[in-house]
């Protein structure tokens, strides 16, 4: 998720491909936004209020309209590719054992964990030390049809944390019965060989740091502060991560996923990708079409969209979601905004942002409350309408008592920071590392200025009046100062020629991964069918009986719906 107002406070913390990930059938939300997390609403409830149930979607097309049934692909294939390079055979032939997960994982009692080895550099496996990949599995509750791999999004989301926290609730009873649910921490993430940049205090400085005299500083001085802060962060990433920092790109993760497929003994990949996890899945389909079994890409990202356009698309849709929130707020018994219109409320929020940026009040723990914190909290709650209530609580507390604690609570939840100031994962560090390798770096000043001009046309919280010339020259400070340059010069479409039928899924009003991205991916992939679930929020699974039935029938019985199908 991108922050929706591009002030100097936002530049160094990155800007695109944000996923919070999935929504569980039991009423969970995620973050990962920016992208990224899988966070039960119960976590919010513990700090704020009772969880609201998800509302159902309108049933437009019945499950009986499925287009056909396909057998499980892979007949005649060996588990290990016959044309595998000899230098990689030891990785595909390694042995490992599933064991009870360590108590620190917090997984259900029947979950099993394992660790395997992968080459740091798939193109030169002997050039560097091997890396470790941490896996988790929930065994099927019935007779297993094989493994179903899943990735929760991000980039930077932990598969271990996802399965530990949501594995038994996110997937339907039928999927749990028929499949061993397997996930992993991708390279650079969590319990696998991971990116490490700074300590907790360093992350606070990177994400929340504001100079004490910021209100009196010139725009040039503020930009210089941000540059120095960012360079300190990126230098720490290189110092503490080392060689791995150059090899946490998504293409390498795709190679890892095929290795994991073989190690669990599956001839083809069954995969449920969520949010950024769809990028992994789409690139797998494109690179290993003959190894595609049954693959669902829910909340799809379009690999052809440039970084700046990702931001613009997301800002437009987050703006739409915010408007929907405000309209809903005015129907409630208590709404913190004066109104009477949505545009009036947007103006009130903008005025509040200007106020806090000019006065820089301190939060309850001494951190400075800024529009950046406010926007992170707003974005955090736009992933699902059931969390809008918490945003109303945040604004109510601020307007009635100048209390910013709920804003900080939501922003910290987004950034995986607990109330003691500890960051529970390396999600934010991995997010930056992966993004900076996956996208071409844009440094052309005209392109950057054009980006801001286009952003102003779609964003409800940003205008060119907010920008000075010094700020208009800034693109993405983190990737501009990243120690390793991206090797990507042009983003490529995926085709997956020859792959078995796959399913691309979207909600109609997804703010983080707009519907048009899913439509584009479904067009690019030659064997794809599009499923659209009507409604708000990020990730379709768990929102509609119709949509869930289509997905479950596809995974279990190979039933491919009509293209497109609407629920």
Q: Domain ranges in the chain?
A: 1-324+423-451+469-567
Q: Which of 460, 331, 457, 426 is nearest to 385 (CA)?
A: 331
Cα 485 from Cα 468, distance rounded (Å): 28
pLDDT given at position 77: 85
Cα 423 from Cα 432, distance rounded (Å): 15
Instruction: State both tokens at 479.
Output: 């990737």
> Residues 6 or more apart from 521 whose CB is under 8 A from it?
278, 282, 297, 300, 301, 302, 303, 494, 504, 528
Q: What is the pLDDT of residues 226-277, one digit of tens each?
A: 999 999 999 999 999 999 999 999 999 999 999 999 999 999 999 999 999 9
Contact 6, 263 (CB under 8 A): no
Coil, strand or helix at 69 = strand
Q: Any idea which residues carry the catalytic annotation?
A: 275, 510, 538
pLDDT given at position 35: 32
Number of residues in the chain: 567
Q: What is the CA radius of gyration of the chain?
A: 23
Residue 316 parent element (H or E) = helix 307-329
- Mean pLDDT estimate for the chain: 88
Note the helical H segments in 48-150: 89-92
Fold assignment, 1-324+423-451+469-567: Rossmann fold (3.40.50)
Q: What is the pLDDT of residues 67-113, one digit of tens each?
A: 556 666 767 789 999 999 999 999 999 999 999 999 999 999 999 99
Q: Which of 295, 290, 261 is nearest to 77 (CA)?
A: 290
Helix axes 307-329, 371-381, angle to 10 degrees: 80
Q: What is the pLDDT of residues 187-226, one digit of tens each?
A: 999 999 999 999 999 999 999 999 988 888 998 999 999 9
| Average pLDDT of the residues in 541-545 | 96
pLDDT band at 559 (very low <50, low <70, confident <90, very high): very high
Cα 296 from Cα 500, distance rounded (Å): 12
**Other CB atoms within 10 Å distance of the CB of residue 75:** 8
Whether a cis peptide bond, with omega within 30° of 0, leads into 51 is no
pLDDT given at position 257: 99
Whether a cis peptide bond, with omega within 30° of 0, leads into 564 is yes
pLDDT given at position 350: 96
pLDDT band at 2 (very low <50, low <70, confident <90, very high): very low
Coil, strand or helix at 236 = helix
Question: What are the CA-CA distances from residue 473 to residues 17, 62, 498 (Å)?
Answer: 22, 52, 45
Angle at 184 between CA 181 and CA 189, to 5 degrees: 155
Angle at 346 between CA 533 and CA 39, to 5 degrees: 45
Residue 128 parent element (H or E) = none
Contact 227, 13 (CB under 8 A): no
pLDDT given at position 468: 86
pLDDT band at 467 (very low <50, low <70, confident <90, very high): confident
pLDDT above 70: residue 391: yes
Q: What is the pLDDT of residues 270-326, one digit of tens each?
A: 999 999 999 999 999 999 999 999 999 999 999 999 999 999 999 999 999 999 999
Contact 148, 179 (CB under 8 A): yes
Angle at 252 between CA 283 and CA 182, to 5 degrees: 75
Q: Which of 161, 223, 170 is nearest to 194 (CA)?
A: 161
pLDDT band at 465 (very low <50, low <70, confident <90, very high): confident
Q: Residue 62: left (phi > 0), alpha (psi -120 to 50), or beta?
A: beta
Q: What percentage of the chain carries pLDDT values higher than 90? A: 82
Q: Are strands 147-151 and 269-274 parallel, antiparallel or unpaired?
A: parallel
Contact 375, 4 (CB under 8 A): yes
| Average pLDDT of the residues in 404-432 | 97
Coil, strand or helix at 67 = strand
Cα 218 from Cα 553, distance rounded (Å): 60
pLDDT given at position 1: 27
Backbone φ and ψ for 331, nearest 5 degrees, come out as -90, -10
| Average pLDDT of the residues in 448-466 | 92
Cα 548 from Cα 125, distance rounded (Å): 41
**Other CB atoms within 10 Å distance of the CB of residue 71:** 9
Coil, strand or helix at 39 = strand
Cα 360 from Cα 371, distance rounded (Å): 9
pLDDT given at position 30: 31
């Amino acid at each position: 998720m991108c922050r929706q107002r591009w002030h100097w406070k936002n530049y160094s913390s990155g800007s695109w491909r944000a996923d919070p990930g999935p929504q569980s059938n039991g009423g969970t939300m995620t973050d990962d936004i920016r992208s990224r997390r899988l966070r039960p609403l119960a976590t919010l409830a513990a700090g704020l209020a009772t969880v609201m149930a998800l509302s159902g979607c309108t049933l437009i097309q019945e499950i009986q309209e499925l287009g056909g049934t396909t057998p499980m692909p892979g007949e005649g294939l060996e588990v290990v590719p016959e044309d595998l390079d000899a230098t990689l055979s030891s990785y595909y032939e390694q042995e490992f054992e599933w064991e009870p997960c360590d108590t620190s994982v917090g997984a259900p009692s029947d979950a099993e964990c394992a660790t395997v080895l992968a080459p740091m550099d798939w193109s030169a496996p002997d050039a560097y030390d091997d890396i470790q990949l941490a896996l988790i599995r929930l065994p099927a509750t019935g007779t297993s049809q094989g493994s179903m791999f899943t990735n929760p999004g991000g980039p930077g989301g932990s598969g271990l944390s996802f399965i530990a926290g949501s594995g038994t609730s996110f997937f339907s009873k039928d999927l749990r019965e028929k499949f061993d649910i397997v996930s992993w921490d991708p390279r650079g993430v969590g319990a696998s060989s991971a990116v490490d940049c700074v300590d907790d205090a360093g992350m606070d400085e990177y994400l929340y740091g504001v100079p004490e005299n910021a209100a009196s500083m010139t725009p040039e001085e503020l930009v210089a502060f941000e540059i120095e802060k960012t360079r300190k962060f990126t230098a720490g990433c290189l110092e503490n991560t080392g060689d791995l920092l150059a090899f946490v790109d998504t293409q390498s993760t795709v190679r890892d996923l095929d290795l994991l497929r073989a190690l669990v003994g599956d001839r083809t990949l069954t995969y449920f990708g969520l949010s950024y996890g769809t990028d992994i899945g789409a690139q797998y389909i494109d690179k290993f079409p003959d190894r595609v079994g049954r693959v669902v890409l829910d909340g799809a990202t379009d690999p052809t969209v440039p970084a700046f356009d990702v931001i613009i698309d997301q800002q437009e849709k987050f703006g739409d979601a915010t408007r929907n929130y405000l309209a809903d707020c005015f129907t409630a018994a208590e709404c913190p905004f004066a109104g009477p219109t949505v545009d009036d409320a947007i103006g009130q929020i903008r005025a509040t942002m200007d106020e806090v940026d000019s006065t820089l009040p301190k939060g309850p723990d001494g951190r400075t409350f800024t529009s950046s914190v406010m926007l992170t909290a707003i974005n955090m709650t736009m992933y699902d309408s059931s969390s809008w209530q918490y945003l109303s609580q945040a604004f109510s507390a601020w307007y009635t008592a100048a209390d910013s604690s709920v804003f900080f609570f939501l922003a910290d939840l987004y950034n995986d920071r607990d109330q003691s100031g500890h960051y529970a994962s390396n999600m934010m560090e991995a997010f930056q590392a992966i993004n900076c390798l996956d996208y071409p770096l844009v440094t052309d000043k005209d392109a950057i200025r054009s980006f801001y001009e286009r952003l102003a046309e779609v964003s409800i919280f940003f205008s060119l009046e907010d920008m000075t010339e010094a700020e208009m020259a800034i693109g993405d400070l983190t990737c501009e100062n990243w120690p390793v340059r991206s090797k990507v010069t042009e983003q490529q479409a995926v085709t997956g020629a020859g792959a078995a039928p796959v399913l691309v899924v979207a909600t109609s009003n997804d703010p983080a991964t707009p519907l048009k991205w899913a439509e584009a991916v479904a067009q690019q992939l030659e064997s794809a069918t599009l499923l659209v679930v009507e409604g708000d929020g990020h990730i379709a699974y768990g929102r509609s009986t119709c949509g869930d039935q289509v997905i479950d029938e596809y995974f279990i019985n190979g039933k491919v719906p009509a293209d497109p199908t609407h629920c």
